[in-house]
Structures are given as C-alpha cells and as structure tokens.
Amino acid sequence: MSATWNFARRPFRDDRPAIAAAAVLVLVGLVLLVANLRIFARYRHDVADVHGEIAALETRQRAADEKSRAARAALSSYRLSSLADESRELSRLAAERRFSWTQLLARLEKTLPGDVGVVRLQPVFGKEGEVVLELQLVARNRDAVVPTITALSKDPAFTAVELRAESSPEGATTDPFLFQVSSRYAAESHP
C-alpha cells in the first residue's frame, strides 16, 4: 500500500492518532530513560561506597593474612628450633649413657706415665657428641708435666691436649705437684 499525499481525494486518511501515539510513546520512553538514568546514577553512587568498603575490607584481610603467615612461620621456626635443641640435648644424654668409664680408665692407665696419678676426672659432653675431659693430675715434681702431655698427645683417642693450670700445695714437705689438663676424647673411633 502506497501512501499518497493528495488530501483532496477520498477516503481521507487521518494519521494524527498514530502520530499522537508515537509522540506519547516517545514521551513515555524519554520519561523511562530519565528514570533509568537516575536509578543508574543512584546505583553507581551507592556502589561506589560499597566498592570503597570492599577495598578497605580486602586490605584488612590481606594484612591479617600476612600477620597470620608471619605468626605461623615464627611458631613453626620456634617449634623447629626447640625441637632441635631438645634433640641435641637427647643426643648428649645418649652420649653420656653410652660413655664407657672402664674403657677411659683403662686407656688412661695405659697412656699416663707411671709416676702420674689422677686426682679428679670430669668428662664434659658437648651438644654435637664430643667429649672433653678435664683432668687434675698429681706428680712428684714439675718434670712429669711434659712427658704426660706428650703421652696423651701420642694416643689417638686424646686430641687437643692443653695444660690448664699447675700448682704446688703450700707447706707440703714431699712436694707433690698438681696440674690440670684438658683434652678431647674419642674412644669409639680409636680402640
């Protein structure tokens, strides 16, 4: 159907209701568009506040997670270091239990010169399993010190032999001579 613009012909076509309806629809569309724009603007304004709150909460959560990780790491390293200390202490106790006094005394009897006696003997057990002997020895005179240190140094079970102190008791008529020696002792590796 073709539209003709000749308004003198019959039947007259009245397009005014269609134009009025179109105008009303355009007006309703514009009103709805304005209403939607206002709702969208209010939504954006409300969401902006929520976005700020979410960002602040996420920042707090990251900080709390970091503190939690640091606390867990500190706790686990504390546990590991305390377990390591406890393990070293248990190893030291086991070394004390395994220590053979009979073997040590037999080796000292074999190694020390005949004119040197043991006054005090104290093993000190280290955390890594080493044994340090603190010996207080007595001899008739000062001349026994060098052969004693030499004899201990020649025995492979005694290493790092050191003279710590030497003294003569005051008022002694027979002149016993006291001296202290320290040495590392490793009986297991040297029969």
pLDDT in tens, the chain (191 residues): 556 666 666 666 778 888 999 999 999 999 999 999 999 999 888 888 888 888 888 999 999 999 988 888 887 777 667 777 777 777 777 767 777 778 888 888 888 888 888 888 888 877 666 788 888 888 888 888 888 888 888 888 888 888 888 887 665 555 688 888 888 888 665 45
All residues at 6 or more sequence positions from 88 whose CB lies less than 8 Å from its CB, including other chains: 127, 128
Name the residue among 181, 182, 188 with its Cα closest to residue 100.
188
CATH number belonging to domain 99-185:
3.30.70.2830
What's the predicted TM-score (pTM) here?
A: 0.48
* 184 touches 160 (CB < 8 A): yes
